[in-house]
Amino acid sequence: MIHLALAILSLTRPSHAAPAQDPIVAEILKDREETRDWLKSKPTSYLAAIRRKDFGSKTALTVGSAEDDDVRLDGLSAHHLRVEVKGDKFHVAAVDAAADFRLKNGTATAREAELEPSAIGVGRFTLRFSHQGYPAIIVFDPKSPRLKEYHGIEYFPVDLKYRYVLAFKPDAKPERVAIESTHSANRAATRLGWFEFAVGTTTCRLAAYRLEEPGSGPDDMSVFFRDATTGKQSYKVGRYVEPKKEADGRYVLDFNMAYNPACAFSKHYNCPVPPKENRLSVPILAGERDSHYH
């Protein structure tokens, strides 16, 4: 989620483990506690997702309590909403006279709106409009029975030797590529360039990508990777880490912040699969482990 900056690639050795009172460690631990709290009880927790409805060949889906609705939800009016895909956006319109929906701030109501990929509230439910080139509606329910399955999130201990400050080598001509995904056909992406770093005595190289689909910004950047822990200590699909740009133009690539994709928790998500060029032979003993929610 970053501007591309340096043309020279430098190999930067990591710092070493730091005590818990270190401000960097404290921030990582704070993020972990907030993530656990969110997963446990928040209305948009992965565990609150109860349904996914892909548009497929349709351009519009209906939401309501009637048997003929595409997305049937109790407690709504018979034909509550009609959601139409219009290019990169979603046109949402109330159908029944008494129907409406809540916009992003959760308080303002509307009967019609054209929205970027985002979420609305309707009754007790949250509807997320996911595009990704394969539009879908994901339904979240604060009464989801899966919230009772919460048993925390497992992490490797914080170890700052897996925190790198690196130069970034952008591709001279960023290449359009196809990224495999867990729920759909391949997704369009641009390979922006590379990070190089050392794990022990092994030099490693990872590509950074921007997904080219509605909802992605021009400065977005993500690293999707697998390592020697994948399918053992960490999630079988792989993990993600997001580089953070420093004021001097370098990037922090902190694997203590590596996280599992949403599909590690719920079948209702469509997640990028790390490409072959981002499969490391060494273990990255940092970040999120596999908490086995499937």
- Per residue in 275-289, pLDDT tens? 999 999 999 999 999
CATH number of 44-141: 2.60.200.20
pLDDT tens readout for residues 99-127 = 999 997 667 899 999 999 999 999 999 99
Angle at the Cα of 277 from the Cα atoms of 273 and 278, rounded to 5 degrees: 60
Query: Which residues are paired to 165 by β-bridges?
Result: 252
Q: Is the pLDDT of residue 15 over 60?
A: no
Q: Is the pLDDT of residue 25 over 90?
A: yes
Q: Is the pLDDT of residue 185 over 90?
A: no
CA separation for the pair 226, 133 (Å, rounded): 24
Q: Is the pLDDT of residue 11 over 80?
A: no
Handedness of CA 241, 247, 250, 254 (dihedral sign): negative
What pLDDT score was predicted for residue 19? 53
Share of the chain above pLDDT 70, in %: 92
Q: Please give the full DSSP string across 17-32, using - where no structure is assigned.
A: ---TTSHHHHHHHHHH
pLDDT level of residue 52 (50, 70, 90 thresholds): very high
Burial class (CB in 10 A: 0-12, 13-18, 19+), 110: middle
What pLDDT score was predicted for residue 53? 97
Please report, for the chain, the start and end positions of each structural domain, with discontinuous segments joined by +: 23-40+152-278, 44-141
Average pLDDT of the chain, as a whole number: 91
- Give the predicted TM-score (pTM) of the model: 0.88
Query: Which residues are paired to 109 by β-bridges?
Result: 102
What pLDDT score was predicted for residue 14? 43
The three-state secondary structure class of 85 is strand
How close are the terminal C-alpha atoms of the chain, in Å? 30
